[in-house]
Structure 1
Amino acid sequence: MTATNRIQLLPIISPLIAIASSLIVGAILIILAGANPIAAYTALFQESLSTYFGFGNTLTKMAPLLLTSLGVLVALRAGQFNIGGEGQIYLGALGSALIGLYVQNFPAFIHIPLALFAGFVFGGVWGWIPGYLKAVRGVNEVITTLLLNYIAINLVSYLVQNPLKAANAPSPYSPLIAKSAQLPIILPGSLAHAGILLGLIAAGILWILLMRSPLGYQITAVGFNFIAARYAGISVQRTIMLVMALAGGLAGLAGASEVMGLKYRLFEQVSSGYGFDAIAIAFLSRGSVFGVILTSLFFAALRSGANVMQRSAGVPVTVVYAIQGLTVLFIAISLAMEKKIKVIKPPINAD
C-alpha cells in the first residue's frame, strides 16, 4: 500500500481508533471502580443490541441522536458550526406539541405530518436566526447557536410551568397530545417508534441532496472555500442561511419525535443532552451520512445499556459518559495528527 493510499484511509481508520481507544481507557476506569471490564461491556452491548426490549430502547435513543447529528453534519459541510442542536430540539418539540394539543379532529395521516412539519419549521427558524446573523451581520455562529440553546430551554420551561401546564400536574409538563398525532410503535412491546424510520429517511434524503444535487455541490463549495464559491456565482449568504435552517429543522424533527413517539406530551426536560452528543457524532463520522448512522447507533447503545451495566456489573453510569467524552477527545487528537500527516507529502514514485 502506497503512502497516498494510507493517507486516504485515515478518515476511515481514525474514528475506529478513537472509539477503540476510548473503550480501552474506559476499561481501565471500570477496573479502578472494582469491576470486570469484560463483564461490564458484555452486559452493556448485549442488553442494548441483542435483546428485544434493549434494542428497541436503543432505537428510541438513536432517533433524536441521528436527526440532530444530521443537522450538525449538513452545517459542517458548509463550514458552519451548529452548536445549537439542543435548543432546536426544544423548539421542534414545542412546535409539534402545539399542533398535537390544539389541532383536533384530524386523521392520523394528516395530523402526524402536520405536527412533524411544525417541529421542522420551529427548529428551522431557530437555526435560521444564527444563519442570518452570520451571513448578513458577520456574527460568529458558535456564539449565537450556543446562546440560543439557553433561550429555547428556558422558553419551554416557562411555557410548561404556566400556560401549557397540565391541570393538577405534579411537575411541569403539558397535557397529552392527541392520539392522532402520536407516532406508531414499530416494535410491539418496546419503546421503539417510527421516529427512527424518520431519521433513516432523512439520512437517505440528505445523502442524495449532498452527493447528487446541485445544491449539495453549492453547500460543499461554500464549505471548502467561500471566496471561490462566490466567484463561481454561488450566493454564500443564502447558502449559509439555508443550511443553518435545514440543520435546525432536522434537530426540530428530533424534538418532534421525542414528543410524538415517546413522551406524548411536552416536558420541561425534553432532551437529555442529545444536541451536545450530536456534535461529537457529526465530527466522529467525518462528514459521512452513513458514518452518522453507525456512530448514532454506537452512542445510543451506550446510553441504552448504561443502567444495565450498572446493575449487573456494578459500574457507575458516569463511566459511560466518560467513554463518550473520551471518544470526543481521541477524535480531536486524531484530527490534529491527521492534519500534520497530510502536510508531509508522500514521495513521488519514479515508476
Structure 2
Amino acid sequence: MSNRFKNLIVPVLAVVLGMLVGTIIMLVTGYDAGAAFSALFEGAFGDIYYTGETIRQVTPYILAGLAVGFAFKTGLFNIGVEGQLIVGWLASVWVGVAFDLPKIIHLPLAVLAAAAAGALWAFIPGFLKARFRVHEVIVTIMLNYVALHLSNYLIRTVLSEKSDRTPNIHDTASLKSPFLEGLTDYSRLHWGIVIALICVFIMWFILQKTTLGYELKAVGFNQHASEYAGMNVRKNIILSMVISGAFAGLAGAMEGLGTFGYAPVRGGFTGVGFDGIAVALLGGSAPIGIVLAALLFGSLKVGALNMPLEAGVPNELVDIIIALIVFFVGASYMIRIFIERLSKKKGVK
C-alpha cells in the first residue's frame, strides 16, 4: 500500500471513527443519533441561507489552517495563530475606520494591514527561535494572551470612547456583498472566500514550485543538513513564521471586514485559531486537504446550531465529535499500524 494512499485514508478513518464514537455517545445518553445527524446536515446545507453561513464559517478556518499547515510543512509548530488572527482583525478594522478612501484602495489596504499585523506578530517567535533557539510553542502561546489583552486595551482607549467595540468600518473597506447576500437569502457570506482560495493556491505554489519553498521544507526536515548545503537556516525559520502569521492575520480580516464589520472587546479567544490546528492536522497540512477539513469543521459548527431545535440534542455533542476526530488524527500512528497489518494479511493470502 503506497504512502500517498495511507495519507489519504488515515484522516478519512479518523472522521469515520469520530462520528462512530459520537453516535455511540448519543445512543448511550438517550438521544436519537439519526435525528441529530439529519438536523446537523439540514442546519449546514438545508437551504441556501445555511449554505452561505457554512461557507462564511469555512473561510477563516481555511486561512487559520493554512497558517498552521505552512508552519508544519517547514518544521515549526505555530500555536500562536489565535493571537495573530486577533491582531490582524484589529489592524484591518483600524484601517477600515481611520481612513476614508475609494474602495479600490481602501479594501486592499485593510486586507494587507491584517496580513502585515499577523506577520509582524509571528516575526517575534520566529526571530527568538532563529536567534536564541527559544521554542516557538512557548512564545506563541504567551503572545496569544498578549494579543488578546492588548487589543482589548486599544479598543477601549484608542479606537473607541470607553466602549466595548470599535465603530463600524466604512463600506469602502467591507468584504460584504449585496450580490452574495441576495444570492444566499441574506446570509453573511462575503468575498473573503475568494481571498481564502487564492491563499490556498499561494501556499501550494510557494511550497511546490519555488526555490524558497524547497529551502523552507529542507530546513524543516533537517536544519543541520540544510546549513551544510549552504542554506540560511535562521532566515528561513523567520520567513516561515512570517508567512504563517500573514495567513493568520488574513483570517482575522475575514471576521473584521466581512462577518462583523467591527472589532469587539473579548472576554476570551475566538477559537478559530485553535480550530485551525485541528484543520491542519486533519488536512495533513496540504492545501487541498486543509480546504476539505475546513469544510467539514465549518459545516459541523454551523449545523450544530440546528441540533437543539430540530432534534433536542445539545450542540456541545458536536464539540465532542470534533475532539474525537482530532484525537484519532493524533492517534494516526495506531491507524497506520492497523492498515499495514491488514495489507500484510492480504498480501500473505
TM above 0.5, yes or no, is yes
SS in 1 for 2:138: helix
Q: Paired residue for 1:79, among 75, 78, 82?
A: 75
Quote the Cα distance in structure 2 between the aligned partners of 1:8 and 1:53.
37
Return closer, same or farther for 1:342/1:225 CA change in 2, 3 Å cut-off: farther
Return the offset for 1:166: 5.2
1:89-168 → structure 2 map (5 Å cutoff):
89-104=85-100, 106-165=101-160
Does residue 224 (structure 1) correspond to residue 216 (structure 2)? The answer is no
**Runs of 5+ unmatched residues, structure 2:** none
Return the offset for 1:46: 2.5
Q: Paired residue for 2:196, among 185, 195, 199?
A: 199
Are the counterparts in 2 of residues 89 and 271 from structure 1 also a CA contact under 8 Å? no
Q: Paired residue for 1:53, among 49, 54, 58?
A: 49
**2:283 match:** 285
Are the counterparts in 2 of residues 88 and 127 from structure 1 also a CA contact under 8 Å? yes
Return the offset for 1:33: 3.5
Q: Paired residue for 1:304, among 302, 305, 315?
A: 302
**1:249 match:** 246
Runs of 4+ that moved beyond 6 A: 339-343
Deviates more, 1:176-185 or 1:144-153: 176-185
Return the offset for 1:307: 1.1
Quote the Cα distance in structure 1 between the aligned partners of 2:327 and 2:92.
35
Return the offset for 1:272: 2.6
Are the counterparts in 2 of residues 87 and 150 from structure 1 also a CA contact under 8 Å? yes
Does residue 9 (structure 1) correspond to residue 5 (structure 2)? The answer is yes
Quote the Cα distance in structure 1 between the aligned partners of 2:110 and 2:297.
27
Does residue 181 (structure 1) correspond to residue 173 (structure 2)? The answer is yes
SS in 1 for 2:263: coil
Does residue 190 (structure 1) correspond to residue 182 (structure 2)? The answer is no
SS in 2 for 1:264: coil
Quote the Cα distance in structure 1 between the aligned partners of 2:340 and 2:153.
50
Quote the Cα distance in structure 1 between the aligned partners of 2:199 and 2:4.
28
Are the counterparts in 1 of residues 94 and 159 from structure 2 also a CA contact under 8 Å? no
The code of the aligned residue for 1:120 comes to A
Return the offset for 1:96: 0.6
Return the offset for 1:234: 1.3
Does residue 276 (structure 1) correspond to residue 274 (structure 2)? The answer is yes
**1:266 match:** 263
Return the offset for 1:330: 0.5
Return the offset for 1:162: 2.7
Q: What TM-score do the two structures reach when normalised by structure 1?
A: 0.92
Return closer, same or farther for 1:66/1:255 CA change in 2, 3 Å cut-off: same
Are the counterparts in 1 of residues 89 and 253 from structure 2 also a CA contact under 8 Å? yes
Q: What TM-score do the two structures reach when normalised by structure 2?
A: 0.92
Quote the Cα distance in structure 1 between the aligned partners of 2:102 and 2:173.
9
Count of residue pairs the alignment pairs up? 339
Return the offset for 1:336: 5.2
**2:35 match:** 39
The code of the aligned residue for 1:215 comes to L
Return the offset for 1:12: 0.6
Return closer, same or farther for 1:271/1:190 CA change in 2, 3 Å cut-off: farther
The superposition leaves residues 126-168 of structure 1 with CA deviations (integer Å, 9 ceiling, x where unpaired) of: 111100000111000000011100000111112223322357x
The superposition leaves residues 247-290 of structure 1 with CA deviations (integer Å, 9 ceiling, x where unpaired) of: 11111001111010111111123963000010011111113110
SS in 1 for 2:97: helix
Return the offset for 1:305: 0.8
Return the offset for 1:342: 8.0
Quote the Cα distance in structure 2 between the aligned partners of 1:336 and 1:135.
34
**2:323 match:** 325
